[in-house]
Structure 1
C-alpha cells in the first residue's frame, strides 16, 4: 500500500492521474463489506476535484504536497455538504455548511476529501468504534477484533487501503490507540497546535473552542513522513498569526537520547507487546542511540494518571456535560497540577529527546470486551494519559506483529512544541 506522499509524487510526475487514484479508491470503498470504516462519500465532488488536480499538473502549475491525494476525515470534523453526526442519531440529518479549518488547510495543500470515517457514539469510547447510525467498524487484521476508538474508522480505513490519509481527534487516546491496534501511525499533536474550529458538536458555537481543553485533532497515516506533511499543512494559529514547525533535534538515530519504559503494574503489558518493545529497544541500542531507562525523576505515573482522570471530568463539565462539583479552589488546584506535570516532563526533555513506551498494554481485543487480558478495560488509558495530561506531542507507531499477525504499537512522546522531533525519531526508527 502506497503512502500519501508516494501517491502525491506519482501524480506530480505524471506516472498516474489523480482521477485514476481517486476512482480506484472509491471502488475499494464501495466494495468493502467487512471493515465498515468509511461511512459517507461524495464521489462526484471527489472526481471533479481530481480532474481539476490533473489539469493543474498538465498546465505545469505549482502544486501542494498532497496534490490530488484522496483522503478521509473523522465524522466529527465539518466538511461542507457532508453529514457531521458524531455517531449520534440525534445528529443523523445534520449537514455542515462550512469546512473546518483543518479541512480548508488540507484542501489548500491539494488533498481531496472523499468522505467521512466512522466514530464511536459521541466519541465516548477509546477502545471501540460503533454507533446506531453506521454500525460497527472492524479491525482489518482480524474482523472479530476492535480497531480501537473513537477514531477507529480512520485507522481501519488506512489499514484496509480505503484511504491514503486521515484526520482524527484525540482526548483519551482516540488517535493513538486505534493507530496501535490497526498498525498505522497516529499523532496527537502538541495541544493547541492544530486549530479546532469546525470540530464541535452540531449546534454548539465556535467560541467554546476558547475554553481550556485536553482534546486535540491530528493526522493518521501509513508513514511518519505523511504525518509530518499533514501536520505542516494543518498546524498553526489562524490568521493573522503564523507558525512554523520546529526542526527536529537530530537527523540521525544514533544521536537521539531515548527514555524508555516498557511496563508498569497499573497496565501490565502482554508478553507479545513486551517482546516487540524489547526488540525495538535492542535495535535502538545497536544503532548507537543512548538509552535512558525509567520514568522521569519527578514523575509519579500513577499520580499523573489519576490527575488525568480529574482533568477529563473537568473537560466534559466545561464542554456541555454534567456540571462538575469542584469548587473554585479545587479548579485552580487541578489547573496547577496540569501545568506542574508539564513542567516536570519539560525538565526531563532538557536531557532526553524522546520518551518511548507502549501505546497500549495489549493488542486489538475482541469486540465487546469489558476486560482485556484479565485487566480492567480502562487500563488502556494508563499509557496515553501522560501526554494527554501535559499536552506534549505523542505519536503511535507500528513496531511489529504478534504470531497471529495483530499489529503492535509503541508511543513516542516528544518535547512541548517539538512534534517533528518525535516524528523524525519514528521515521528513522522505521528505517
Structure 2
C-alpha cells in the first residue's frame, strides 16, 4: 500500500496514522518522493523542506506513540509562499526576497504546525499575490495544472492547487483575496474554500487587500477541506473581525442541511458582451439540477450588479495600492529592479494614487458589494461559475502587455471577487472534465457566517455526484 498512499483521503491518512498502519515518516517520505518526481513539470513548489519535514514527522511519530492526538498530527502539509513559516524560505513569490527565511510563523501557519502537520514546503504563488496566474521568477517557471501542462493552474494559490491535484500533498493551505483559492481549485478539479470574513485571522501583509484576503483550504474533498478549516478557524483574540463557529466543520459536512435551501443561480459574467463558455454554463446547469433533485429550491436570477468600468477601475486601484504598499514594506533597497514587469507597473500606478483615489474606489466597491447582499437577502446560497472559461494557456494574460493584464485577468475571473468584497463564505467545487479534457467547476456562495451550512450542502453535492474518481495522468505513476 505504501506506493499508493496518496490515493487515501487526508481523513483516511489521519486514521491510518492513529491506528499505527503507517508512520508519519513513511507518509512524508512518500510525498517528498512524488514532489521530486513530478514538481519539475508542475512548478507547484517554490521551496521544498525535506529535512524540516522529516524532523516534524519524527516528532509526530513520537507523539502518536505516546498516545497523543491533535487534528493534523503526522499529516504532510504545504504552505502558500505568501505566508511566513519559521525555518522555511518565504519569498512572497518575488525574486527580490529569494533569500528571506522568516524567524516566526504567521498566526495561521502556527496553528497548523501546532496541530501536528509536517511542513514539506512552500507552494508557488504570484508575486505578492497580485495575479490570477502563477509565474514566479523565484523558480523561473510557471505553475501549471496537472490536467494540461501547457495551461496555468491559476493563482495566486496556483502552487497549492497543482500540488494537491497531482498527489504531492494530501491537502494545502491557501489564501483568497479576489478568488485566489477558488480559481486555482477550479483549474485543478479540487475543492477550494474561502471562509467568511473573520473566521480565519488575516496575516498577509498586503495593505488594503487585507480586508478581503482570507486563508482557507484546498483539498480533494469537502471533508478534507473541513478537516483543515477546523484548525485554521481559531481567530486571533485581537482580530476585530474575528468570530468562532459553533461546532466542528468536519461534523457539519457529515450531515445534510437542516432544511431545503433557497438557491439563486446565474451564469452571466457581469462584464457585458463576453460570450459564455458552453462548458461553464453546463457546469452551473448540471449543479442546479443536482440541487433541485436534492430537494433545494433553485431559481434563476439576474446577476445583482455589473462589473462595469467604475468597478473595474476601483479593483485596479485597490490592487495597485496594495502591491505598492507591500513592495515598500517588504522589498529591500536596491532590489526593486528584479521585480516582475507587472509588479513594477502596479507600483507605478499605486505611487500615483492619492488618499481620495483610494477612498473613492472603496466607495464604488462598497456599493457593488451592497448590491449583491441586498439581492441575495432572501436566498441561502448563490450558484455561479468560478471562471469564465477553462484553464488558460501559459502566457495568455501577458499577451497584450502589462497595461492590459488587469482586464485580461478580470475577463477570465470576474465571477469571484464580489464574494471577497461582501465577506461571504464561498466554495469552488469540481463539476466535470469538458470535451477538451479540462476541469470545470462551480462556485457556491453562502450567507455571512453560515460557513457550516455552505459546506454541508457542498458535501451533499459531492455525495450525489462524486468527483474523486477523476485524476490527472500523473496520479497513477
TM norm structure 1: 0.87
- Corresponding position: 1:133 with 2:139: yes
Deviates further, 401-410 or 122-131:
122-131
- Corresponding position: 1:55 with 2:62: yes
The equivalences for 1:112-191 within 5 A come to 112-191=118-197
1:259 to 255, 264, 269: 264
Deviation for aligned residue 1:343:
4.3
Inter-partner Cα distance in structure 2 for 1:181 and 1:279: 18
The equivalences for 1:220-235 within 5 A come to 220-235=218-233
Inter-partner Cα distance in structure 1 for 2:365 and 2:216: 21
Deviation for aligned residue 1:147:
0.8
Deviates further, 141-150 or 339-348:
339-348
The CA deviation string for residues 344-399 of structure 1, in whole angstroms up to 9 with x for no partner, is: 44444542111010000111121112499xx9543123111211222222111111
Task: Report if aligned partners of 1:387, 1:393 keep a CA contact under 8 Å in 2.
Answer: yes
Aligned-residue CA RMSD in angstroms?
A: 2.8
Inter-partner Cα distance in structure 2 for 1:195 and 1:217: 8
Deviates further, 213-222 or 74-83:
213-222
- Corresponding position: 1:45 with 2:52: yes
- Corresponding position: 1:290 with 2:297: yes
The CA deviation string for residues 187-225 of structure 1, in whole angstroms up to 9 with x for no partner, is: 22223432233x337xxxxxx58x863222222111112
> Which residue does the alignment assign to 1:364?
391
Deviation for aligned residue 1:39:
2.7
Deviation for aligned residue 1:336:
4.3
> Which residue does the alignment assign to 1:2?
8
Deviates further, 386-395 or 175-184:
386-395
- Corresponding position: 1:317 with 2:321: yes
- Corresponding position: 1:245 with 2:245: yes
> Which residue does the alignment assign to 1:204?
none
> Which residue does the alignment assign to 2:113?
107
The CA deviation string for residues 88-134 of structure 1, in whole angstroms up to 9 with x for no partner, is: 22111111111111111011222221111112233222034343534
Aligned residues: 416
Deviation for aligned residue 1:21:
0.7
2:282 to 262, 275, 281: 275
Inter-partner Cα distance in structure 2 for 1:45 and 1:99: 14
Question: Unpaired segments of 5 or more residues in structure 2?
Answer: 1-6, 326-346, 400-406, 464-477
> Which residue does the alignment assign to 1:393?
425
Deviates further, 256-265 or 85-94:
256-265
Inter-partner Cα distance in structure 1 for 2:42 and 2:164: 11
Question: Unpaired segments of 5 or more residues in structure 1?
Answer: 202-207
Task: Report if aligned partners of 2:147, 2:437 keep a CA contact under 8 Å in 1.
Answer: yes
- CA 1:240–1:128 in structure 2 vs 1: closer, same or farther (change >3 Å)? closer
Task: Report if aligned partners of 2:383, 2:443 keep a CA contact under 8 Å in 1.
Answer: yes
For residue 77 of structure 1, give the secondary structure of its aligned residue in structure 2: coil
